[in-house]
């Protein structure tokens, strides 16, 4: 249809698929500290960051290579457990993760740790992730699904051909449902064998032909043991880079437009308004507002109120309805009005944080080709575009569309 749908109340869902095997609790394999408690403490911090950045997204933690099973959807899946359900981040989930990170005995009693010499059907973990996606609250609003796998074991199936075939089918089903995989692994210290990426994850979970495997977002990354504490800032950096603030349109001329995705490197945090309560019973106070005339004290209606703009030594007066129609003259999106040389753009012209836009061929086909042509022409002629943009709020702003080579 060509219509651009804004982010609105849509949600991103992230499931951290954590290895709970014996090796994750063996400090000798990871430089003296058990890896699993560090990862659980990191995940608790991720939930705290989500509450600040986007509290309505969904985050869950699923464990695999456990001794105990968890029933989900009426079916028990061996060697898998839900640590925290896929839901909006909460203080309760953060406390649960911190408690497990500080109490290895509780972790072992609740979930158990599968020995490395025993295999498990990895399809159970993938099925549990898919069940979390489908049974989560507001599942219909989920627009991006991610599975972040954290492990130090190269092959949970230990080469079982039947289990590998089932895992390959489960991965294909998740990919068709829109899920993407990001795998972070650690290589244990000698004398433990090194992590062989090709044993299972690289060849089975993420083959080279996987549609979500791109140079910009490598799905498999090694986390050095000495770099465990850098996991959080690295994940936040990627999270900020991938966060789509809004989907909108870039109007180049009459009946010529392309779809773009707007990114923000820094998302402003707004402080909620305080809720005023009655001291006697803590019931919220109902408030009504009226506009009074400063000269007579008479209550004014909307028809009595005018909006004025002072320019050229005179006042221009508008009614409320006229002001609303003026705001609607510029539609949602970005409209290009012309070009100016880049030499005329000075650093002090920046008055707020910049938006970054990229073409979105999924919304309007041909947007990438048109965007590439526009970018190449602006770089060649060394010009920037003068645009008027409106992002949600009924406020039209002027901006500079500056080309970048990256």
Q: What is the mean pLDDT of residues 354-374?
A: 87
Is the confidence at residue 261, as pLDDT, over 90?
no
Residue matched to tokens 């990191």: 42
Residue 400: band (very low, low, confident or very high) from pLDDT cuts 50, 70, 90: very high
Cβ-based burial of 86 (10 A; exposed 0-12, middle 13-18, buried ≥19)? buried
pLDDT in tens, 300-328: 887 888 888 888 888 888 887 888 787 77
Radius of gyration over every alpha carbon of the chain, rounded to an integer in angstroms = 27
Taking CB atoms within 8 Å and a gap of at least 24, the contacts of 383-387 are 383/339, 383/340, 383/341, 383/342, 384/339, 384/340, 384/341, 384/342, 384/345, 385/336, 385/337, 385/338, 385/339, 386/336, 386/337, 386/338, 386/339, 386/340, 387/334, 387/335, 387/336, 387/337
pLDDT at 383: 94
Q: What is the mean pLDDT of residues 13-38?
A: 81
Pick from 9-23, 215-229, 272-286: least confident: 215-229
**Contact between 125 and 17 (Cβ < 8 Å):** yes
For the beta sheet containing 256-264, the strands, ordered from the edge strand earlier in sequence to the opposite edge, are 355-359, 256-264, 244-253, 333-341, 383-390, 397-401
pLDDT at 12: 81
**Which is nearest to 146 in space by CA: 60, 44, 81, 50?**
60
Rounded CA-CA distance 271/39 in Å is 30
Residue 378: band (very low, low, confident or very high) from pLDDT cuts 50, 70, 90: very high
**Contact between 261 and 368 (Cβ < 8 Å):** no
Residue 212: band (very low, low, confident or very high) from pLDDT cuts 50, 70, 90: very low
**Contact between 61 and 51 (Cβ < 8 Å):** no
The reported pTM is: 0.56
Q: What is the mean pLDDT of residues 253-280?
A: 79
**Which is nearest to 34 in space by CA: 105, 96, 129?**
105
pLDDT in tens, 116-132: 888 888 888 888 888 88
The SS3 assignment for 361 reads coil
pLDDT at 352: 77
Residue 194: band (very low, low, confident or very high) from pLDDT cuts 50, 70, 90: low
Rounded CA-CA distance 202/200 in Å is 6
Residue 213: band (very low, low, confident or very high) from pLDDT cuts 50, 70, 90: very low
Is the confidence at residue 360, as pLDDT, over 80?
yes
Q: What is the mean pLDDT of residues 355-368?
A: 85
Chain centre to alpha carbon of residue 84: 18
Kind and range of the H or E run holding 18: strand 11-19
Is the confidence at residue 226, as pLDDT, over 70?
no
Residue 147: band (very low, low, confident or very high) from pLDDT cuts 50, 70, 90: confident
pLDDT at 163: 82
Is the confidence at residue 372, as pLDDT, over 50?
yes
Rounded CA-CA distance 2/259 in Å is 8
pLDDT at 223: 59
Query: What is the rounded average pLDDT for all residues in the chain?
Result: 78
Rounded CA-CA distance 20/108 in Å is 9
């Amino acid at each position: 249809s060509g219509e651009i749908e804004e982010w609105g109340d849509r949600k991103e869902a992230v499931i951290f698929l954590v290895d709970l095997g014996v090796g994750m609790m063996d400090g000798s394999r990871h430089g003296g500290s058990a890896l699993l408690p560090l990862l659980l403490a990191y995940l608790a911090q991720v939930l705290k960051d989500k509450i600040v950045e986007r509290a309505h997204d969904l985050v869950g933690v699923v464990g695999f290579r456990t001794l105990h099973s968890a029933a989900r959807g009426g079916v028990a899946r061996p060697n898998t457990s839900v640590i925290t359900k896929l839901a909006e981040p909460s203080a309760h989930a953060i406390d649960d993760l911190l408690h497990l990170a500080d109490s290895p005995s509780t972790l072992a009693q609740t979930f158990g740790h599968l020995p490395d010499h025993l295999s498990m059907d990895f399809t159970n973990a993938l099925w549990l992730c898919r069940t979390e996606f489908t049974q989560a609250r507001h599942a219909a609003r989920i627009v991006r699904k991610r599975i972040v796998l954290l492990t130090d074991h190269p092959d949970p199936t230990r080469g079982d051909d039947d289990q590998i075939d089932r895992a390959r089918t489960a991965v294909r089903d998740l990919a068709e449902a829109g899920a993407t995989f990001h795998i972070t692994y650690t290589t244990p210290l000698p004398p433990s064998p090194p992590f062989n990426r090709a044993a299972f994850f690289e060849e089975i979970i993420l083959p080279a032909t996987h549609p979500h495997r791109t140079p910009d977002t490598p799905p498999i990354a090694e986390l050095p043991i000495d770099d465990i504490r850098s996991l959080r800032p690295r994940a936040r950096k990627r999270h900020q880079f991938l966060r789509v603030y809004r989907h909108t349109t870039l109007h180049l001329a009459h009946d010529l437009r392309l779809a773009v995705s707007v990114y923000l490197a820094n998302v402003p945090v707004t402080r909620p308004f305080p809720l005023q309560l009655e001291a006697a019973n803590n019931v919220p106070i109902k408030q009504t507002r009226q506009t009074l005339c400063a000269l007579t004290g008479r209550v004014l209606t909307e028809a009595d109120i005018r909006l004025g703009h002072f320019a050229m030594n005179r006042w221009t007066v508008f009614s409320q309805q006229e002001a609303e129609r003026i705001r609607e003259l510029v539609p949602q999106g970005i409209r290009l009005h012309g070009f100016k040389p880049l030499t005329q753009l000075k650093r002090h012209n920046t008055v707020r944080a910049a938006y970054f836009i990229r073409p979105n061929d999924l919304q309007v086909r041909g947007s990438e080709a048109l965007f590439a042509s526009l970018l190449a022409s602006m770089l060649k002629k060394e010009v920037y575009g003068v645009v008027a943009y409106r992002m949600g709020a009924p406020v039209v702003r002027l901006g500079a569309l500056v080309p970048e080579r990256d």
